[in-house]
């Protein structure tokens, strides 16, 4: 007798949950392939994201997982929502990926650095130390557990944002984030409190992508998904205005 497949068909709700976990995680458990007898090695890492949602980590040459990634870039990353009660009642996502070290000082590393420091401002103390470097985790697939009886096997396309129609979006994002925080702080706070149910406070916009916004207040991170994904860069400003009015 064949066992029943416990996974559900991937739908938009599952995709949105997985992307929210990726975009709002502050840390995750990174599993690398150990050099000694092939034993796996797990470590806690701070997590940021690239524009498409690919996780990025900042590691020291002194870290065991850095040396293991250099020898074998295959890895997995466990991200989990944190809350009260049974930890297994909260959503979690395991990503299978291949790590890519970003050349320090390169355009890509600088782009990742800017976004990472918005989410982890205290990392500014050591981000430019010569023994530190960013790694981009190029996701191959994922396994989402959204709670009891809600398991999904997810492809790369289910987890990341398609950026093919948005060349040069990094520059647009950088200027839009700065502009919103400097000139429209009240609107940013309304996004967090009125549309996401966040607590009152001086919320800051820390990321924009074609599918939504990332907002931060201290250690709290929120994801505001747009009602409809942007079809082009020109739709960003009207979308932000519409959200503020709503």
The residue count for the chain = 246
Q: What is the pLDDT of residues 16-25, one digit of tens each?
A: 999 999 999 9
Beta strands in the chain (DSSP E): 27-33, 40-46, 48-49, 55-60, 74-80, 92-101, 132-145, 151-155, 204-209, 212-217, 220-225
C-alpha–C-alpha distance, residues 164 and 189, integer Å: 30
The mean pLDDT value for 138-167 works out to 94
Judge whether residue 2 has pLDDT over 90.
Answer: no
Judge whether residue 148 has pLDDT over 70.
Answer: yes
C-alpha–C-alpha distance, residues 217 and 185, integer Å: 12
* Residue 173, φ and ψ in degrees, nearest 5: -60, -45
Parallel, antiparallel, or unpaired for β 92-101 and 40-46? Answer: unpaired
Let me know: does 230 contact 236? Beta carbons within 8 Å: yes
C-alpha–C-alpha distance, residues 222 and 85, integer Å: 20
pLDDT tier at 4 (50, 70, 90 boundaries)? confident
Judge whether residue 239 has pLDDT over 60.
Answer: yes
Let me know: does 215 contact 203? Beta carbons within 8 Å: yes
pLDDT at 39: 87
pLDDT tier at 5 (50, 70, 90 boundaries)? confident
Percent of the chain clearing pLDDT 90 (strictly above): 87
Let me know: does 117 contact 124? Beta carbons within 8 Å: yes
The mean pLDDT value for 224-245 works out to 94
pLDDT tier at 89 (50, 70, 90 boundaries)? confident
The mean pLDDT value for 193-206 works out to 97
Q: In DSSP terms, which residues pair with 77 in a beta bridge?
A: 30, 95
Q: What is the pLDDT of residues 39-69, one digit of tens each?
A: 899 999 999 999 999 999 999 999 999 999 9
Nearest one of 225, 226, 227, 220 to 198, comparing CA atoms: 220
Q: What is the pLDDT of residues 201-211, one digit of tens each?
A: 999 999 999 99
Let me know: does 52 contact 31? Beta carbons within 8 Å: no
Q: In DSSP terms, which residues pair with 141 in a beta bridge?
A: 96, 155
C-alpha–C-alpha distance, residues 55 and 44, integer Å: 14
pLDDT at 85: 79
Judge whether residue 3 has pLDDT over 70.
Answer: no
C-alpha–C-alpha distance, residues 236 and 213, integer Å: 11
């Amino acid at each position: 007798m064949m066992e029943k497949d416990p996974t559900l068909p991937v739908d938009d709700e599952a995709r949105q949950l997985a992307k929210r976990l990726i975009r709002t995680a502050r840390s995750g458990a990174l599993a690398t392939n150990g050099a000694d007898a092939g034993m796996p090695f797990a470590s806690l890492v701070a997590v940021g994201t690239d524009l498409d949602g690919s996780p990025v980590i900042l590691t020291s040459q002194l870290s065991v997982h850095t040396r293991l990634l250099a020898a074998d870039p295959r890895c997995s990353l466990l991200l989990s929502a944190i809350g009260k009660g049974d930890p297994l009642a909260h959503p979690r996502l395991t990503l299978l990926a291949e790590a890519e070290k970003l050349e320090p000082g390169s355009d890509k590393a600088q782009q990742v650095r800017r976004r990472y420091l918005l989410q982890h401002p205290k990392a500014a103390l050591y981000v430019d130390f010569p023994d530190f470097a960013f790694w981009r985790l190029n996701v191959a697939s994922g396994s989402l557990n959204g709670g009891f009886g809600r398991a999904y096997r997810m492809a790369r396309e289910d987890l990341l944002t398609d950026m093919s129609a948005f060349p040069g979006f990094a520059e647009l994002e950088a200027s839009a984030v700065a502009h919103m925080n400097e000139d429209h702080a009240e609107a940013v706070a309304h996004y967090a409190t009125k549309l996401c149910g966040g607590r009152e406070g001086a919320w800051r916009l820390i990321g924009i992508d074609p599918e939504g916004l990332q907002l931060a207040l201290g250690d709290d991170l929120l994801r505001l998904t747009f009602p409809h994904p942007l079809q082009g860069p020109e739709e960003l400003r009207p979308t932000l205005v519409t959200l503020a009015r709503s």
